[in-house]
């Protein structure tokens, strides 16, 4: 069931490479990203998947319980993932030499905006539109050899403010669990420092659990910055 949710939110897209010689971009308006408030805790395979609907319902219940605990853990650590991601993204883009202007937008759905504000409205050269399909923790299976690790799957698009032309478009997978992230999209190996043999291990190391997500946000944000060099 979680895999189906992920498939809906993590579809990759054709890559459109940025060409800095073709477009002068100094100030980027970063639109409020599409991103769930609470992370997903995804067990990519387990025994329940072999037992049809009953197994799926049991799996869904167990996943919901894990996600509630994960959210409580983050609240306890005073970590708001959406704020954290936006902050880290800003740092990455500024480190790459861009001026960053956060732009608050109301999202009607979990997709890219259909129309972007004018350049004059915000005084930016381009808008960065980000759709975080899923993020959180994932384990490929139930065995200790497949531990929980952070993951972030996102799509991003840079649009020229004056013309609406697409300057860059790509998908980034931090810790892709195949079949995700096997195409030509960016694929980032997870930081081995954040390895949890099971979900209890995350609960027992809450600070580390939150730090793992932050590390994933840093890696994906840095990757976006590299796509714009």
Partner 1 sequence: MGSRRLHGSLLVLLAPLAGCSATLNAPPPVTDISARQCGAAFDLSKPSPMTFDGGKEWSFATDINEAAPCIASAGGSALYATFALPQISTPYVISVTSLVEGSTLFVPRILLLGADGGVRREFSGQALQFRGTGLGTVLRSHPDETYLVVESDPSMVGKTDSRIAEETQVYTVSAGYGAYQIHTGSEARPTFTYSHNGRFEITLTPLELDGK
Which positions lie near partner 1, rule CB under 8 A? 13-17, 19, 21-22, 44-46, 49-50, 112, 138-143, 145-147, 149, 157, 159, 165-166, 169, 175-179, 181-190, 192, 223, 226-227, 229
Q: Which is nearer to partner 1, 68 or 226 (CB)?
A: 226
Q: How far apart are CA 217 and CA 220, in angstroms?
A: 5
Q: How far is the CB of 65 from partner 1 (least distance, A)?
A: 20
Q: How far is the CB of 149 from partner 1 (least distance, A)?
A: 7
Which tokens is 193 given? Answer: 């420092």
Q: How far is the CB of 200 from partner 1 (least distance, A)?
A: 18
Tell me if 149 sits within 8 A of 212, measured CB to CB: yes
Q: Which is nearer to partner 1, 82 or 183 (CB)?
A: 183
Select from 75, 60, 81 the least CA-distant residue to 150.
Answer: 81
Burial, 19: exposed, middle or buried (Cβ in 10 Å; 0-12, 13-18, 19+)?
Answer: exposed
Q: Which is nearer to partner 1, 99 or 166 (CB)?
A: 166
DSSP string, 29-53: EEEPPB--SS-EEEES--GGGGSHH
Q: Which is nearer to partner 1, 22 or 78 (CB)?
A: 22
Q: How far is the CB of 179 from partner 1 (least distance, A)?
A: 8
Q: How far is the CB of 8 from partner 1 (least distance, A)?
A: 17
Beta-bridge partners for 102: 30
Nearest 5 degrees, angle CA 104-CA 106-CA 107? 120
């Amino acid at each position: 069931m979680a895999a189906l949710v992920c498939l809906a939110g993590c579809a990759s897209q054709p890559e459109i490479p940025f060409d800095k010689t073709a477009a002068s971009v100094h100030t980027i308006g970063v639109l409020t990203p599409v991103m769930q408030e609470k992370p997903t805790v995804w067990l990519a395979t387990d025994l329940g998947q072999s037992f049809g609907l009953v197994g799926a319902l049991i799996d869904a219940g167990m996943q919901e319980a894990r996600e509630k605990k994960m959210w409580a853990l983050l609240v306890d650590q005073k970590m708001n993932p959406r704020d954290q991601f936006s902050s880290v993204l800003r740092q990455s883009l500024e480190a790459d030499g861009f001026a960053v202007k956060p732009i608050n937008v109301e999202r009607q759905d979990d997709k890219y905006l259909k129309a972007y504000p004018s350049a004059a409205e915000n005084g930016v050269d381009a808008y960065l539109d980000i759709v975080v399909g899923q993020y959180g923790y994932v384990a490929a299976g139930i065995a200790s050899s497949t531990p929980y690790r952070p993951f972030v799957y996102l799509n991003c698009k840079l649009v020229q403010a004056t013309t609406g032309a697409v300057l860059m478009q790509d998908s980034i997978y931090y810790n892709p669990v195949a079949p995700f992230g096997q195409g030509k999209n960016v694929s980032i190996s997870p930081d081995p420092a954040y390895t949890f043999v099971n979900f209890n291990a995350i609960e027992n190391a809450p600070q580390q659990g939150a730090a793992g997500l932050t590390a994933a946000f840093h890696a994906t944000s840095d990757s976006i910055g590299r796509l714009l060099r």
